[in-house]
Structure 1
Amino acid sequence: MTGTRRPAVHYVGFRGDEYRRALCLFGPPDFIHIGWDMWAKQEVVDGDVAIFARGTFEDAPSAYSFPNIREEDGGK
């Protein structure tokens, strides 16, 4: 097997109907990131495709981890 791999598709910040629309346009994601934080940015590697509900890859990532924020507010 060669070192070639299929690019991974990352969905970032999708919360509602826009997720269903993205599925129709881009197909299912390989990774879903609640928001754009340092963990999400590290997981998107060269050749991958990152699809944002809002913003771009060039936006500064949040200083806080989104799963921690979600857990702290009771999952709301």
Structure 2
Amino acid sequence: MTRHVHFVWFRGDEFWSAVKVWGRPHFIHRGWDRRARREIDFDRDIIVFARGEHDQPFAERNFDDIRER
């Protein structure tokens, strides 16, 4: 199975710093929510947080998708 890279909470220049280390992500999550939890295989995937601890609680609300122009 494929190991996916998930970026969480990335908004700006920190994105490119993380890309230098982890490569381009397969998924970008605007927040740490239930949708992110459903899309991540916790036994296999890599989760990279722009801010916060690795064991932070999930948000009560779901974040919207990233919209490209």
> For 1:4-62, what per-residue CA distance to the aligned partner results, in whole angstroms no more than 9, with x for missing partners?
x1211000010000001111111000000001011101211121000000123421110
Q: Cα RMSD between the aligned structures?
A: 1.7
Aligned identity (percent) is 40
In the alignment, structure 1 residue 16 sits paired with structure 2 residue 25? no
Taking the aligned partners of 1:26 and 1:63, their CA distance within structure 2 comes to 28
Larger radius of gyration: 1
Q: State TM-score, norm by structure 2.
A: 0.84
SS of the counterpart of 1:65? coil
Q: Which runs of 4+ in 1 moved over 4 A?
A: none
- In structure 1, runs of 5+ residues without a counterpart are 71-76
Name which structure has the greater RCO, CA cutoff 8 Å, separation 6+: 2
Q: State TM-score, norm by structure 1.
A: 0.77
Aligned length: 65
